[in-house]
Structure 1
Amino acid sequence: DDNDFMIECDGCSGWFHGKCIDLSDRIADDIEKYFCHECSKQHGPSIFKQRKNQHRRDYSDANADNKPTQSGTPDFINKLKRRIFPGCESVVTRLKGNHLTPEYLAKYGFTQPILISNRDGLDMTLPNRTITLAEIRDAVGQDRFIDIIDCEKQVTYKMNLDDYIEYYENFERILQKNKD
């Protein structure tokens, strides 16, 4: 379980399991000074690292000015948003469902993404197009672990589906909390 990490309180030097204090390792990575429940009464809440740059994964790196932009950072994402990319037609194969067969794959392989324009005849069971995360959780179980990629940090975490749904549905609130 990824919440088995431990964090030291900067007030009392006590050690706490992330799971016991309901703190994920993703959030703990961004904490500059951690104060446990008791110490926060005297020292105030935990202090998050201050953002000193927008172009490095370690956003608290004070010496980042002359370092290149890293993928996943706010600067990188803003640059991507301003770029114009060619269409996907040169790299995507479009097929109707009834054309994607074992024979097709044996003949042409699966060397590019295949976009199915019409599901009819696909001969496989697919979820409804409007399936929700809650329905997926109910089908596979809330304790199923999935890999989550933190794009900004370029780190992979394991998270159970129930925790992921909570994180996903509260993403804006979590972002704001980390900025405060």
Structure 2
Amino acid sequence: MMASEEDPVYCICRKPYVESEFMIECDVCKDWFHGSGDDIPILRLHGGELTPSYFRENGFSIPILVEKKDGLGLIVPPSNFRIQDVENNVGSMREIDVIDVARQEDYKMLMREWTEYFNSPNRNKVFNVISLEFSNTKLSDLVLPPTIVRQLSWVSNLWPDHLPDDCTYTRPEVQKYCLMGVKDSFTDFHIDFGGTSVWYHVLWGEKVFYLIRPTTANIALYEAWVSSSNQSETFFGDQVDVCYKCVIKQGQTVFIPTGWIHAVFTPIDSLVFGGNFLHDFNVPLQLQVYEIERRVKTPAKYLFPSFETTCWYAAKHVLDVLKDYIEDGKKPPPYIVNGAKALSTHLKSWTQRKDLVLFIYFFKQFVKDAKHDVPEHIQYGKLLKELSKEAKDLDVTSQEKVKT
């Protein structure tokens, strides 16, 4: 939670609370800490500027803030849409995950109970909802992610819309979340599952993001912090070089790139729509985050659904892109080459895991039976060979040009 003028406190450095500075209290030791809330060098763009060609030319490594949704192709309900309206569209008896902010623990609650709590004038606890995915509800008809998300998303473009009835995998539904936070709710530092990028639109209220660049050093510190036994007693923002502050106000939309470590504070009651997506521009880091999740034994419910299956689709897609460039006599962009290398390495290691033997069998059958946006059949061994060969050939060509 944040410090307030009504409750004067001191950081452990003995400096007093200043309204413009971020401070946080440790729930265990009750000490207060300053956050290094430097303003982020965030890109501010108009919605119409976010196009695939923009990302091909500039990459996607810095958060982007869009002041108004004009030009984004984003559809959300009007700003007078309330929590009761959310309930009416997802169902009163829908069970949702609710976070007890003080304990950072999950609880189950019916949607109608959440509405009653949210609208109560006297809340005895601070709860937060950040994982209500509503793609398969009536609310889905009222929300359409930004055009650029739909254009870049692996799930949108590489998975079939319909799967065979006997398929053992399901199409990931991660692009439509409704986040409902009450005043003083706080989500601790984390990286979004599978290294996904995020779109995040504040319908009403306000959110304060604390963001940390995914440098090699910061990622290593993050993994150590997540694995530590005293994680809840340590403010991660104090361990890194810089922790940036970014305030997202009503009507604004923010796009957070792959791997950015972030915490979110809610200064006033807020309703947010957002979603997650994998894409071509940061493939190695996406895979690195997934491997971290595996190493720290992240529970399955917090992982990107069908992540490895999605990466097999992506491998076929990246190989096709590489071949197109080569056939046209053009040099593939570095992000495609790096993506090919990373996928080749990781997918090969996955096929050598014992628990992947059944996965390979079922995946081959699954792809063979699919009728829509994916190939009728994927020979995983051949795919990996071709992907690895194309990436190596490009490496050799680059090295030869350097020598000459």
Tell me the TM-score normalized by structure 2. 0.22
Which fold has the larger relative contact order, with Cα–Cα distance below 8 Å and residues 6 or more apart in sequence? 2
Q: Which one has a larger percent helix, Structure 1 or Structure 2?
A: 2
Instruction: Please give the TM-score of this superposition, normalised by the length of structure 1.
Output: 0.43
Structure with the largest fraction of strand: 2
